[in-house]
Structure 1
Amino acid sequence: MVQFGLSKIESVIENIRDSVVHIKQFEGRLIMFSKIVQQLQLPYRKLVLDCKTRWNSTYEMLSVALKFKDVFPRYKDRDITYDCCPSNEDWEKAEKMCEILEVFNSTTNIISGSEYPTSNLFLNEVFRVKEVCKMRAIEFSFPRMYHSLEAQTHILDVKNCLYELYNEYLVEYQSIGSENSAETTSIGCTSSASGSSSGWSQFQAFVKTVETITPQKSDLDIYLEEGCFICDGDSRKFDALEWWKANTLKYRVLSKMARDVLAIPITTVASESTFSAGGRVIDSYRASLSVDTVQGLICGGDWLRCLHCVKKKNKKEKKAEEIALPINH
């Protein structure tokens, strides 16, 4: 998705990249560029040259270059060999792209910064990429993605899948409840036979009889009909797992479903490949191993690192190059 977006302003990126390369090529050019920075009284002291296969470094290069957008045209007036100066339209495109990339960069940093990123971790950031409010997100976005009739079909598909999954959890919950009820009845009979039964056990039996009446609405119906939860204060501190834990008694079945869904890994890509559009992390040798062998090696490695408190080392890859400007403080 990010690479596709960057391809739309490829010529802009090339102009900015070539500009940075041109200026860093000779010390005299760096000094001339730095003098203009000082004349404009800009507080920034570095340029950034990206690594073409890492989109986050391209974002960094663009965002830093934008701080010097008034310097480049002035530098062009002093250097006749400089022929790749970005135009005003180029800077506008770069600025809009940086606004979008900032969201993805922030979100991806949070995901790649976790050893085992799961769905609940992503919820704090996903709202920045796409508005999320229960089924309302689907009802809002699908009509903008598909034609009217097709959108309604897709909305219904999502809702049906949601209810289908919920019903599976409901059947499992009811079967466990029946087993527990049978065990309780057996214990109650034993107590009654021994003459140790009390009014409390009779009350429990009455409550169970009353509460076995099937409610008219399911957990899922009630949850979807309720208003969206609005987090007080900083919404980035909202913890979905804690919220579902606090509402377990209210949504007995749905909370179990949420717990399992929120534990699903949100990415199968290695953290060192999160920003990279380069080669695959798995080489030809590892790709030839059986699935069971690969899983055994990965799990074994994780367990050993955890046992000996060793952090997993990321594969080294080229990063953005920072170019310090020779400015006297």
Structure 2
Amino acid sequence: MVVTGHFIDSDWVLQKRVLNFCNVPPPHTGVIIADALSKCFIDWGIENKVSSITVDNASYNDCKIGQLGSVIDVVREGIKYLNNSESRILEFAKIKKQLQLPSRKLILDCPTRWNSTYLMLDSGLEFKDVFPRYADIDPGFHYVPTDFEWMKVEEVCKFLGIFHEITDMISGSEYPTANIFLVELYRIKELLNEKALDPFEHIRAMVGSMSVKFDKYWGESNVLLSLGAILDPRYKMFLINHVFSVIYGEDAAPRFIAEIRDILYELYNEYVDCHVVSHSEQQQRQVVKRRQNESSTSSSKKQKMTAPAILTGKEKFHMHVSEIDRAPPEKSDLDVYLEESRYACDAKANLDVFGWWKGERLRFPILSRMAADILSVPVTTVASESTFSAGGRVIDDRRASMSVETVQMLLCGNDWIRSLHGLKNKSRESLDVAESITFEEVELPESFND
């Protein structure tokens, strides 16, 4: 199990560190995993400083690609047949060259990953004219899709291509923050609504399952994603008003918008209360310190009765300003922020949202603190999955006898040293999607515990 911590440093830069990479013996029940996680928090002394936990969906990561059935089977089996022989690949490449097609390779998918299946179908579709020509020279090649099957493959690629674009945009970010999701997520719901009426039965069946999954995850994370979007100065409540009408419909949207707004103000008021308590404690410490200094001074000399001190104009003005500062403002940070117009920038420009809040922290002292906490919550397991990919390279058949502690030190040390020197791992785009490793797919060699 890998535990990755996300936090905002003193310069308002989002940081990520691998806190633990530990062996959790089976059975992998919720209680056992929670105990391992709790032990990690205690070891780091952060058990009372964790504001949120993002977990992998593990066994719930079931695959809906099977519903495409024969649409992908013939393409997959054909590519598998070709990849089993170097001579077949060479003959296939010769035909590609004759047809002046790109030198892109055929991709064999990982059946449990829809995005790799999309890439496989997309690569097969690009070379659909090569399949029948190769069949003419290889009697054993029985995997030539019909024109109707290629049409269905094309429809699937059009559908999944949008999902691939959105997920690639989100997962391609090394530290995806909560504010970037909602503006892309509603496009998925829009597409699902449209494709629910598709003339192809296999598309409608797939959309039905995907809609159930979308509604499940949206219901669990809608508050966080909504608050993250509101605290992005480019969106505020404007995006919520637009998106909710797509997700919930025009009639139901106002009720859900009002709920999010109420939650936003309720959470902000909690931050206000914490700020007041913190400010009072700071004042008390200053009073105690001043009295200690006065006591220390008076003990060295005999106190004398003196007339009341006459305040200067500067001191009287300072007292007046202090009274004004203690009075509650007519409008809160949140009111001012929401009433101001959105931050205008190019639609394709990437805004450093933490940099923006850093620049506004003096104007919005309470709201900026809340924004830092909300926006730093990781909404994907990209960071953890990249660590498991590294783990798969560290733990192989030649290094399977390393102790659990050694593996942990290698993985954690690599991550911390890279962060210290500003070194980045390879981007997800440069990794073959078929070779990526997730939590449930990692299998340690039997000799690992030896």
TM-score by length of 2: 0.52
Give the C-alpha shift of residue 311 in structure 1.
Answer: 7.5
CA contact (8 A) 2:63 2:114 kept: no
What is the number of equivalent residue pairs in this alignment? 287
**Taking structure 1 as reference, are residues 155 and 42 closer, same or farther at Cα in structure 2, changes over 3 Å only?**
same
CA contact (8 A) 2:387 2:411 kept: no
Gaps of 5+ in 2: 1-59, 188-228, 230-234, 295-305, 390-403, 420-424, 426-431, 436-450
CA distance in 1, matches of 2:62, 2:238: 29
Give the C-alpha shift of residue 253 in structure 1.
Answer: 1.2
CA distance in 1, matches of 2:369, 2:116: 40
Give me the CA root mean square deviation. 4.4
Matched, 1:305 2:407: no
**Taking structure 1 as reference, are residues 319 and 177 closer, same or farther at Cα in structure 2, changes over 3 Å only?**
closer
CA distance in 1, matches of 2:258, 2:322: 36
- Residue 43 of structure 2 aligns with which residue? none
Matched, 1:248 2:361: yes
Q: Secondary structure at the match of 1:235?
A: coil
CA distance in 1, matches of 2:182, 2:65: 21
- Residue 105 of structure 1 aligns with which residue? 168
Q: Secondary structure at the match of 1:110?
A: coil
CA contact (8 A) 1:3 1:55 kept: no
- Residue 93 of structure 2 aligns with which residue? 34
Gaps of 5+ in 1: 112-116, 276-296, 322-329
Give the C-alpha shift of residue 302 in structure 1.
Answer: 7.5
- Residue 91 of structure 1 aligns with which residue? 154
- Residue 262 of structure 1 aligns with which residue? 375
Relative contact order, higher structure (CA 8 A, sep 6+): 1
CA distance in 2, matches of 1:94, 1:307: 38
One-letter amino acid matched to 1:235? A
Give the C-alpha shift of residue 250 in structure 1.
Answer: 1.7
Give the C-alpha shift of residue 252 in structure 1.
Answer: 1.6
CA contact (8 A) 1:13 1:62 kept: yes
**Taking structure 1 as reference, are residues 249 and 159 closer, same or farther at Cα in structure 2, changes over 3 Å only?**
same
One-letter amino acid matched to 1:305? C
CA distance in 2, matches of 1:161, 1:129: 21
Mapping for residues 164-183 of structure 1, pairs under 5 Å:
164-180=266-282
Give the C-alpha shift of residue 320 in structure 1.
Answer: 2.7
CA distance in 2, matches of 1:310, 1:49: 35
- Residue 332 of structure 2 aligns with which residue? 218
Identity %: 33
- Residue 241 of structure 2 aligns with which residue? 139
Matched, 1:61 2:116: no
Matched, 1:44 2:103: yes
- Residue 142 of structure 2 aligns with which residue? 82
One-letter amino acid matched to 2:412? R
CA contact (8 A) 2:179 2:375 kept: no
CA distance in 2, matches of 1:194, 1:90: 91
1:188-242 deviation per Cα after TM superposition (whole angstroms, max 9, x unaligned): 9x7x999696543333222222333433322112222222223358523x22211
1:112-152 deviation per Cα after TM superposition (whole angstroms, max 9, x unaligned): xxxxx5x63x5456644447522233322323333555433
Query: 1:157 pairs with 256, 259, 265, which one?
Result: 259
